[in-house]
Chain A
Amino acid sequence: MKIFQRASIYTFLTIAAIVSIFPFLWMIVSVTNKSVDVTQGRLLPGTHLVANLQKLFETVDIVPALINSTIIALISTVLTLLLASLAGYGFEMFRSRGKDIVFTILLLSMMIPFAAIMVPLYRMFGSVTNTMPLFGIDSLGAVILPTATTAFFIFFFRQNTKMFPKDLVEAGRIDGLSELGVFFRIYVPTMKTTYAAAAIITFMNSWNNYLWPLVILQSPEKRTIPLLISNLGSSYSPDYGVIMSAIVIATLPTALVFFLMQKHFVAGMMGSVKG
C-alpha cells in the first residue's frame, strides 16, 4: 500500500514535470534550428546554434538590454521586498480598525487592468519630465516606481505575517529591541522563505514587464529584454531561430533566480528558528 502510494506520487510528479518541461525544452531545441524548422515545430536539435547566436549578437544589442533589465529587476525587487514587507508587517502586527480599512482600500489598486491607468500614468510622468528628468519619460526611475509599489506583495506579506509567531515579537521587545529592530532582527530572518518566494515573483514580474516599459521608455539604448524580443518578432519575415535564441537568453536569469531561491524552501527551516 505504502509502496503503491509512493509509486503513484512519483508517477504523478513525473508526468507533471514532463508536461511542464516540454515547451521549455522545445524552446531550447529551437535555438539550434533554422527559422523554417522552428515554424514547423521541429522537435529534434539542428545545426544552426552558432549561426543563430551569431546573427542575434550581430543584429541586436542584446547585452545592453540584458544590463538594463537586470538593473531594473534588481532595484525593483529590493524596493518591493522592503516596502511591501514593512507594510505587510505593519498592517498585521499593528492591526487597528483604521489600518484594516486602509488595507482594504489598498487592495482595490490591484483590481484595475493596467491598460486603463496607463494613459493617466504616462501623463503624470510626462508632467515631471522637465523638472525631474530622473523620473520623467524615458527614465529608469519611471519604469521602476509604479511597478515597485504594488499592493500584491503587501497583501502577500500580511497574509504570511498571520502565520508568524507573535510571541517572537514580544520576546524581542523585552530584549529591548526597537520596533524596527524587531522587524529587521527577528521578522526578516524568520520569514526567509517568504522573502525568497516574493523575490522570485518580483524579479520575474519585473523581468517580463512589457507594457509599461514599452510606453515609458523611448530611446533604444534603454530598452529592456521584452521590448527587444517584441521588435525581433515584428519583422515581415521574422527569423524564428534568432527569436528563440533571444528568448532563451532572456529566460535564463529568471530560471537562475528561481534555482537559487528555491533552496530556501527546505522543510523544517522554520522549526529551527522557532525552537
Chain B
Amino acid sequence: MKKLFLMVLLIVGMVALAACSSGDEASSGSNSEGSSGSSGADKITAWAWDPAFNIAALNKAKEAYSGDGEYEVEIIENAQDDIIQKLNTGLSSGTTKGMPNIVLIEDYRAQSFLQAYPDAFHPLTDVINSDDFAEYKIATTSFDGEQYGLPFDSGVAGLYVRTDYLEEAGYTVEDVTNITWDEYIEVGKKVKEATGKNMLTLDPNDLAQVRMMIQTTGSWYVQEDGSTPNLADNEALAKGFETYKKMMDEDIAKIVSDWSQFVGAFNSGDVASVPTGNWITPSVKQATDQSGKWAVVPMPRLDMDGAVNASNLGGSSWYVLNVDGKEEAADFLLNTFGSNPDLYQTLVKDIGAIGTYSAAAEGDAFAVEDEFFSGQQIISDFSQWTDEIPGVNYGLHTYAIEDILVTGMQDYLNGAELSKVLENAQSQAEAQLK
C-alpha cells in the first residue's frame, strides 16, 4: 500500500518535473515579456503575417526608426488566421499576457475587433493625422470618433491582363482600360473564341469579385452604420450578382476552388486576366517566362451612375493594443509609418508594398518602370487609383454576410430569382446579426 502511494507521488512528481524541465527550456529563450513586463517597456512586439510583405515592411520601419525611444522591437510572424485566433482567444479571456503591442489587422475585420473588444485597443487619434492617409481607409480604421488604426497597405485593385491574348482577339490595352463589367464580358467572349482561354478565374466560395464590383459604386454589404445588412434593396449588389452569373453563363470563367488553383491558373497561362488586389503582383511575376506579356489597367466598374474605375480588395492597418508598452508602440508607429515618406519609398522599391500615406506618392520609387509589365509604371498607376477608391465602411459583418451570400449565389446560379435570393439573404442576415 505504501509502495503504491509512493508510486503515485512519484508519478505526480514526474508530471511536474516533465512540465518543469520543458518549462525551463522554454523560459531560457528570450521571453515575450515585452508585452507584459513593467511599464516603460524596453521591448515591444509586433505581429504580421507575410515575410515577403508586411513583415519585411516592419523590418524596414525598424531600420528607419529615428526617434529617441530606447526600446527594442521584436517582429513576430504569424499566419493571418492564426493572428485572428490568438487575438480572439487572448482578448476574450481578458488575459493580456502574451498579446503583442502592435498588430496588423485586415480592414474587413477591423470593426469587429474594435467593437468586440472596446478597451483592448489604444486610440491613435492624438498621435497621427488621419488626413495624411488615403481617405477610403479612415472609415474602417476608426470607431466612435476615435482613430484606432494606422492605415498601412493599399488594397487597391487592378485588372491584370495578358496583352498577347488580347492581341490575338484583336484588342489593345486601351480597349480594356476604364471599361464596365459588361464590356469586360464582351471582351472575354472574344478572347475565348480567339484563344480558347478563359477570361478569369472564379471561386464560387469567394465573392471577392462581387465585393470589388460593389465598391466601385461606394456600396457595401452593410449600410453606413456598419451593422445593418444592406442586401435586398442594394442595386449594386444585384448588378454584381447578375454580372457574376453572366460570366458563368457565357462560360468565360475557369472555376477554381482555392488559392493555389487561383495562382496556378494565371501562372500557367490559363486565363487572360486577373481582376484583383495589387498584392498579387509578386505571384504574377513568379511566372518569369510571361515577362512582357502583362499589363495592369484600372478595375472595370459596374454600369451604374457614380461608379468609378477604382476598387479595393483586402488591405490592412496597424493597431496598438492597450497593454504595457502602448506609448512606445504608438511612438514607433508615428515615427515610421505615420510620418516618414522616405520609408514608403523604400517599401515600394524593396518590397513592392504600396502604402496609403498620401505624402509619399510623389517619390521616385513610385515612378519606376517595371520590365515584367513592359515598362509600365505600375506603382504610380496603383497609387493614383488608390485616391479614387470610393470610401465605404466595411462594418462588422463582411465575412458573415458573405457566407450567407455564397449560399444565395448558388441558388441564383441554379435558377432562383434574384430578388428572392437577395430578400432571403437579407432576412437571414437580419436574424443572424443582431
Contacts and interface: CB of A to CB of B under 8 A. Distances in A.
Find out whether A and B make contact in their complex, taking CB atoms under 8 A apart as touching.
yes
Interface of A: 35-36, 38-41, 59, 71-72, 75, 78-79, 82-83, 86, 118-120, 122-123, 126-127, 129, 133-141, 144-145, 178-180, 211, 214-215, 218-222, 227, 230-231, 233-238, 240
A231 B82 contact: yes
A119 B89 CA distance: 5
Interface string B410-432: 00000000000000000000000
Nearest to A184: B7
B18 A82 contact: no
A133 B27 contact: yes
A235 B286 CA distance: 14
23 contacts: A36-B267, A39-B264, A40-B267, A71-B25, A79-B14, A135-B19, A137-B98, A138-B32, A138-B97, A138-B98, A139-B19, A139-B26, A140-B19, A141-B26, A179-B4, A214-B86, A218-B86, A222-B29, A230-B79, A231-B78, A235-B51, A236-B280, A238-B260
A140 B89 contact: no
A180 B23 contact: no
Which of B24, B77, B98: most chain A CB closer than 10 A?
Answer: B98
Contacts of B52: 235-237
B94 interface: yes
Q: Across chains A and B, which 9 residue pairs bring their CB atoms closest together, nearest first?
A: A134-B23, A126-B95, A39-B264, A141-B19, A234-B79, A140-B22, A123-B93, A218-B98, A237-B283
Contacts of B90: 122, 215
Nearest to A141: B19
A137 B97 contact: yes
Nearest to A229: B79
Contact of A139 (B27, B279, B287): B27
A236 B53 contact: yes
Contacts of A136: 97
A134 B79 contact: no
A39 B22 contact: no
Contact of A40 (B20, B53, B264): B264
B38 interface: no
Contact of B22 (A72, A83, A118, A237): A72
A36 B80 CA distance: 23
Nearest to A233: B79
B95 A137 contact: yes
A75 B18 contact: yes
Contact of B82 (A36, A39, A122, A230): A230
Interface string B67-81: 000000000111111
Contacts of A134: 19-20, 22-24, 26-27
B82 A234 contact: yes
A118 B89 contact: yes
A90 B333 CA distance: 59
Nearest to B31: A219
A236 B22 contact: no
Contacts of B264: 36, 39-41
A238 B263 CA distance: 10
B93 A122 contact: yes
B260 A240 contact: yes
B95 A39 contact: no
Given A36-B264, A219-B31, A126 B77 contact: no
A123 B95 contact: yes
Contact of B50 (A133, A180, A236): A236
Interface string B353-372: 00000000000000000000
B399 to A, nearest CB: 16
Contact of A129 (B30, B80, B97): B97
Given A36-B267, A219-B29, A122 B279 contact: no
A227 B93 contact: no
A1 B307 CA distance: 76
B93 A126 contact: yes
Contacts of A234: 49-50, 79-82
Contacts of A75: 18-19, 22
Contact of B89 (A41, A82, A122, A127): A122
A133 B26 CA distance: 10
B92 A119 contact: yes
B285 to A, nearest CB: 9
Given A138-B31, A222-B29, A79 B15 contact: yes
Contacts of B77: 220, 231
Given A36-B268, A138-B98, A141-B19, A236 B279 contact: yes
B161 to A, nearest CB: 19
Contacts of B97: 126, 129, 136-138
